[in-house]
Structure 1
Amino acid sequence: MEQKIPEEFSRFYLRDVTFANLMMRRIYNVLIVANPYDAFMLEDDGRIEEKIYNEYVELGLRYPPMFTQVSTTEEATRVLHTTNIDLVICMPGTADNDAFSVARHIKKAFKSIPCVVLTPFSHGITKRMQNEDLRIFDYVFCWLGNTNLILSIIKLIEDKMNIEQDIKATGVQMILLVEDSIRFYSSILPNLYSYILAQSKRFSTEALNKHQATLRMRGRPKVVLARTYEEAMSIYNRYADNCLGVICDARFPMKEVSPDENLLLPSPLRDSAVYKDPEAGLKLLRAIRAKDEYVPLIMESSESSNRAKAEAEGFRFVDKNSKQMSRDLRRIMEEHMGFGDFIFRDPASHQELIRIKSLKDLQDNIFKIPNDSMLYHISRNHMSRWLSARAIFPVSQFLRGITWHKLQDVDAHRQIIFDAIVQYRRMKNVGVVAIFDRLKFDRYAHFARIGEGSLGGKGRGLAFLDNIIKRHPEFNRLEGAKVQIPKTLILCTDLFDQFMEQNNLYPIALSDASDEDILRHFLQAQLPDSLIDDFFTFFEATKTPIAIRSSSLLEDSHYQPFAGIYSTYMIPCLDDRYQMLEMLACAIKSVYASVYYRDSKAYMMATSNVIDQEKMAVILQEVVGKQYDDRFYPTFSGVLRSLNYYPIGDETAEEGIASLALGLGKYIVDGGQTLRVSPFHPDQVLQTSELETALRETQTLFYALDMKHTGKDFKVDDGFNILKLKVKEAEKDGAIRYICSTFDPTDQVIYDGFYDGGRKIISFAGVLQQGVFPLPELLQMVMKHGAEAMKRPIEVEFACNINDDRSGELYLLQVRPIVDAKQMLDEDLAKVPDEACLLRSHNALGHGISEVNDVVYVKYGHDFSAMNNYNVADDIERINRKFLAEGRNYVLIGPGRWGSSDHYLGVPVKWSHISAARIIVEVALENYHVDPSQGTHFFQNLTSLGVGYFTIDCSSGSGGFVKKDILDAMPAVEETQYVRHVHFERPLKIMIDGKKQEGLIDLNQ
């Protein structure tokens, strides 16, 4: 049972961080100034460049620096003037020209370039440094021939360059090292960096793919070196909220001296009024502990007497004299700074209880930890620190604010930690295609791939949609609404290649065999056994029916979408996982087979593609919906287009159009009756505007997945286990409560909403007009952000579940660019002169280019009478039948409204009487002026068949024109008292610009 969490902690939003913006300033070029002997030692004995490169590769680091070596100040100056040098390292020189002299000369001329002195330690050098003002150099290090020190110097300076930006950007952590002994920090830094970089390589496994893992390593803690009390306090105060821990010497310089004492100090220290205080370390750690009760504080000292002092105040102690000093320090860091595994311990015995290796590990075990152990760790903020060390900053920062003082309830802490991890994992999954890992993929996982090949067109589209959702958090900020893509696993194209090769399927696939024969061979083939455990993991994570969808290289591509060419199967969720595995394997193999079906091969030839170059990825995806007895379907599905070429009323083409339908989206793809609405005009639904239209054009059937149909009897028809049901069945299921209206036959009125009795109309009134679910607002966002990101008009498939409490989930299933060949129109119609046109309309619906040779028109003129419109309808119906029989199309021109039930307003034809018309033209005459219908009578048919609809007002100078005299002068193929049919030898070119609502027929193409 979930723990009741206080309101202030239960509602939270984790802000995601991006690792790509970390460590932006790098050291790429290093100049080493060394005498020939030291240069030789570095190059031949030390092989510094090779060692540094190998060190970078081993640690998974990118951008190893390049080294340039010179021997004199003159050479160094020449290089610095001609090359972009990021760091200068000066090594022991000659008797006349030592490292300090060279470094001082370079620093004077190139103040902005970091300059480091490497010096061997001898009695003479120590004496020399007592009188040397070391502050002009960035750092001085003790050189003992260890190339790891060079790596540490580079990392230390890079950390210093990036710390401000990286802490501000993502909350990167800092380890403060306070040490003034050059010899000691020269030996401790390589050990410290080696440990931190190895740790960063380990925690990069929290990432979802290799690229993310590499970026994630940039989130490692930074090391900052301070050499005085004041410097240390200044750094700590600046980055206190991001301090992972402090490692501090006992004795170091501190500005606390009297004028008399100052005179006794060596000159460099006298100038800075600094002296080594034997208790500086204790003072510093006390000051930091007063500000933060949780931050780990470690004292290291060669004076053993300091152990008792440090431990008396609760500080950890490391003895510098110990031969195990490095191991002692690592052990304390591991336990107290959050490095390594998280070990839950028994607070009394300190015995290990549970070891946590990853974030998912913590999520799975958080409710198993004994109470006293949980209390021990949360009261010391251990979990927040462990998450910080692993660069899981959003969760770490959130938990850091929930201290034991604020919430003294162990179980509440458990639930908060669990909820924060779940939200973080979901957030990190969105917009990222993870490499599938059985140990990580669970019900909180999201999108993964198996294989190294391509995701295919649909797969790329899904990843793109997921990324859009991630980049626009506003999608998930509307009350009661969640926007996401379904849980997805993609089998990449390399698995398809492997399957085809290992089963020797190309001979049958590329033959002229029947679709059934090809499918039979594919079903007999074997998928790799290595996939079995992966599929079982996916079943466990989804626990829903699974859609197996094609995602070929060419499908939904930017320039040549292969939409609907290949198969999509669905399988039910079964208790018998092995039976479900059998069905899944059959479905995958059936999708693979569909690449080689006759229709696919014909389409390939028509689009000039080569069939054996096609590769198929397969998408496994949870089916959106709910189970009702033995059937499964969503509340509704839809297709959204960001361009509407049939706008009515005050709609515009750019406001887009959505087609909505109860049940599975296959119903829409198959051409079923849908409800069309512009998301910007949800109150303006033509199909429900009149009683007769609403009753006639409502959805009466819907599709659902048959949960009883099991077995391996897969067919070429991918809808073999899809049920076609009457809407009454969904009414019994209670699935249409928020998407229907009720017709009252007694009052002859349609009431928005679900009421007992009466016929149910699928009107979507609840989500469009009554605010049950913010569908219009969400679809507006999808169009806006999707089209902006794709830089072209888009089509998006989606499905939605509405729950009893009026909350809901909108799932985006697919996105593709709108590049239908019939709709490609590059020409500016305004540039086509009137002289070249047979007719022109400034009020046209539809879009694209087509050609016809025939025009059928009503013989209208000054003596036209609407009395004869019934006879006109009869003539046109007869002529239309001939066109249907011959499979040809024509342009239909007539006065008034086509399809009007009132014959005084226009010709009272039904759609079946004019169904072969490619363009329908309504003409308003001076003596017969009727407001244009804008095609509303046949709206559904116009839009689904792509028929153009022109309105021309001949009584207005700017309303367009028809050159009827040209038609009248032509010989008639057929002529009655009311109608003429004429034929043009050369095709007429019909052009419609749906965005501008301009249309014309060009005579002179």
Structure 2
Amino acid sequence: MESQIPQEWNKFILKDVTFVNLMMRRIYNVLIVANPYDAFMLEDDGRVEEKIFNEYMELGLRYPPTFTQVSTIAEAEEVLATTKIDLVICMPGTADNDAFTVARAIKGKFPEIHCVVLTPFSHGITRRMQDEDLSIFDYVFCWLGNTNLIMSIIKLIEDKMNLEHDIKEAGVQMILLVEDSIRFYSSILPNLYGYILQQSQNFSTEALNRHAANLRMRGRPKVVLARTYEEALGIYERYKNNCLGVISDVRFPYHSTKRSQIVGAGASSLEKDPEAGFKLLEAIRREDEFLPLIMESSESANRERAEREGFRFVDKNSKMLSVDLRHLLEEHMGFGDFIFRDPKTHAVITRIRSLKDLQDNIFKIPRDSMLYHISRNHMSRWLTARAIFPVANFLKHVTWHKLQDVDAHRQIIFDAIVQYRHMKNIGVVAVFDRGKFDKYAHFARIGDGSLGGKGRGLAFLDNVVKTHPQFNQYPGASVRIPKTVVLCTDVFDQFMEQNNLYEIALSDAPDDVILQHFLRAQLPDSYIDDFFTFFEATKSPIAIRSSSLLEDSHYQPFAGIYSTYMIPYLEDKYEMLHMLAAAIKSVYASVYYRDSKAYMTATSNVIDQEKMAVILQEVVGKSYGDHYYPNISGVLRSLNYYPIGDETAEEGIASLALGLGKYIVDGGQTLRVSPYHPAQVLQMSEMEIALRETQTHFYALDMKHVGADFKVDDGFNILKLKVKEADKEGSLQYIASTFDPYDQVIRDGLYEGGRKIISFCGVLQHDVFPLPQILQMSMKYGAEAMRRPVEIEFACNLNADKTGEFYLLQIRPIVDSKQTLVEDVAALPDEECLLRSNNSLGHGISDDVTDVVYVKYDDQFTAMHNPAVASDIERINQKFLDEGRNYVLVGPGRWGSSDSWLGVPVKWPHISAARVIVELVLRNYRVDPSQGTHFFQNLTSFGVGYFTIDTNRPGEGGLFRKEILDQMPAVEETALVRHVRFDRPLRIMMDGKKQVGAVLLPENEVVETNDQP
């Protein structure tokens, strides 16, 4: 057999590639133009700089890129004038400019610099890009809050810069990705690079010494993105001898006039050929009969044809998209293990994990399996993907056509590996150190993934407090975040994969069935010591909060969708560990509950893209017997859409409550106060209002409830107690007033007898604790740092000596629409309006809604049917989601209240297709405006209007012309709810600054109206 091997073999195999000469052109200086919140997400959560620094160190490079962050065009130009910037990344925008405006200004002055635009995903942005020439930018990406995208952008540009040289120098391979959908390639590139970088890490640590591993990682396959047929075919023709495989969409521009000059989103404005992908892959298949070709499409009908023509197929609509693609890469492009298969049955014969594995098994492989793989260059492709270019290149030329001898091939492969391994030292697998929680620190992470949305917000709040020492200027009042540890998203990935939970999680099984499967699964034992350290550091009950990638995202909030559990503090650490593990698994399970899946659909997200981090956090509060809760919890918003008296919208609003904050989230009765007007509390202005509209119940953690009997309802161990319980427990000092039934007055403070009113009088009017001042600072510094209005959750413990601790729990942005109104909504004539509100939430214009869904009511309306109303509306809403339509929703009382006597008890997924939500105050059913409490973040982010109309105050209270709807034929009608449809669209107008909104009738249906009674 030796005679079969070319004489130059030894000389060739020992002459290894000089990896140090690869990836010579780099991105060294990156300028990020973004508001401080986005920059903080990248730096402290995504740790882009740290990740890239680590990669460069591993690759043996001395100069990792540095990141400079600015917020305005002027600042950017100042940096560009003095620093050599290699890449400019423009994030979604600042208060003054959006990403496209910023990028265009920079590119206009510095045309030679690589420039990338990140834009949030929305239909408005998509429509805008179709009309713009974006070819001056290198790429346009869709910003979904995934910080790994920044890494992928840098890698993609570097791959493009080094492609020509590295292929000639070493035979580096490329993967050609053909895709013109910004949203899709923004999602797939981080996955693709994740697989590739993981692959390079695997092969470097398994079979190479540390120094060789560092250098060899430079030989990883490159990714090249093409967006038109001509661009893709041109790249393939040029580098076809070094193509590892092709992943192609089906529908994209073909024979375009702009051809490859089209860059980024510009391609989307060209006419797309529904068969472009087939034409491309067929042309490539004629050139190379064995090259792996993967077709991905959102049109499932393409599967049959693709597989008939010998292409692999991935369905873009699949919830398992990234998993499916990963399997295809491992199976056909040399990623992962090499699998010897039976050519007839395709059954696995042997799985090869390393070069040594291959060396040990090469003579054991059945002859027909060996022939199947060597005749298709599978071995060469696997070695190439592992950057073992000398062996791979040689074997690629020792083809079956030239050497039709299976045993000779075995010997060649064996000898090649032996000599290669002799030349290269095998390195030790690096031990991954997760790092333990330091009991002296108050914020730490376990894992190397993302912190998730709430985790990002907490880290950001911690940073805001540190950079503004004036928070702690008041004696006896400390401001901080609670002790926190975050289980990052990679812990979630590991848990899901090791316990094989995806099948049940992505099924249509009931929530409680999914929960039971998750509770039976196992968390790794390696975290036990970390958890014990955290127990010792906190010595308090622990809240286990969801912190998903999408939750509380800057642009796509998932507020209140997933679960938060609480567990009591126990002296028995193993019993507490048992409860903690159950709580973590229960939070993980909530990602896959029915409401979560519905919300994913409503927000155009794929559930497979969702990853869950978990926050373990000390619960703010004190022990009162068997109960645990804080004296004050609250939600603070820096924009007040319902200003009263001399309040202004910009002065913000706070909702305060006794007990756990879940009470506020669930829509309980809170005390509404402007931090700049703490003495003006509407609810305390009259005795009757104070008695009727102040808090009567509160939530506390049940410290006696011990065990792992966790339920889908995350409040299963939360007690709803009456305020008089708190009075007995002594937790009302400084926050309550007393009603004297004899004198019929309310007195500030606690007195014997009489009902206790939760008025927070001590902190609001009597300066016991500087709560108003701290709230003012929280709004001011939070909004300044995010460059936009914010919503902040907080809790506070008050002590008998008038000292206290104020804890910031969460911050998220209130996203405002920038649509401008040229008309005065308040001045619109009544005859043009279907409804009008002078107390509205929301801003913008839309004219694509034709449907109205409203609750049927009359003078005898009763709230007893509200749960049934909720059921009807949930079913109707699902039809709108299925059809991709929106509607106007009208009904009495508070939408989303957990108390069905105050309104219809719907959850957000049940009304998620509504474009405007209207709450009515009726003559016999008066419920104060809710501000859309539970839905606030969703309303503002999705541009949904929330109107209040008081039918008892004609003109001033607004207008609702129900008689028009009653006269129309119903699309659907139940005993409680009616759905009607206009022939032409209604026009929705909302002025967020003046808090007025209107829904206008189609022009041909304008009718005269009389004042309402």
TM-score with structure 1 length normalisation? 0.47
Computing the radius of gyration over CA atoms, which structure comes out larger, 1 or 2? Answer: 1
Relative contact order (C-alpha < 8 Å, sep 6+): which is higher? Answer: 2
TM-score with structure 2 length normalisation? 0.47
